[in-house]
Amino acid sequence: MDKRKVQSVIFYCAQGQGKHFLLLKMNKKRGYLWQNVTGGVDKNENFQDAAVREAAEETGLSTENIQQLIKTDIEFHFCDQWENNVTEKVFFIQVKNKWDVMLDPSEHCEFSWVNEKNISPKSVHYASNFEALQKAMVQNE
């Protein structure tokens, strides 16, 4: 079976301090791994709408706080743990301001805003998340 997923890299820009990225820590059931916002694309939904919906569901982000949604050409293809062929498309979401992040405890237990200077391969578990973060760091605002 083929599955469609999105990865949303959320960030804000602080004057003179560069970009700050929102990272989420998965809960115990999911292995306490750090990641970007990720999620599935519903049956009659496009990737872009799914990227915004997943960001809102997983963090409480309001659409009014989105400065820009950036469609990228970053796409990953892999086989998941259930042996589904997965296509994951990446979107960058630049927000106007930090907000009171509200996590869904069934998925995540912690979050952190991380300055781009402190992002490393150890910041997130999946190489695809780090690759997306790297590309977001050099994305023009």
Task: State percent of the chain over pLDDT 90.
Answer: 89
Is the pLDDT at 14 greater than 80? The verdict is yes
CA-based radius of gyration for the chain = 14
pLDDT by residue (tens digit) across 38-74?
999 999 999 999 999 999 999 999 999 999 999 999 9
Strand 18-26 relative to strand 85-95, pairing: unpaired
In angstroms, the CA 70 to CA 132 distance is 12
Examine the pLDDT at 86 and tell me if it is beyond 70. yes
What percent of the chain is predicted at pLDDT more than 70? 99
pLDDT at residue 35 greater than cutoff 90: yes
Please, are residues 109 and 23 in contact by the beta-carbon 8 Å criterion?
A: no
Burial state string for 6-20 with b = 16 or more CB within 10 A and e = fewer than 16: bbbbbbbeeeeeebb
CATH code of residue 82:
3.90.79.10
The domain in which residue 18 lies consists of 2-138
Q: Which of 3, 1, 29 is nearest to 86 (CA)?
A: 3
- State the total domains in the chain: 1
pLDDT of residue 15: 87
- What is the C-alpha separation between 92 and 74, in angstroms, rounded? 10
Residue 141 has pLDDT above 70, yes or no: no
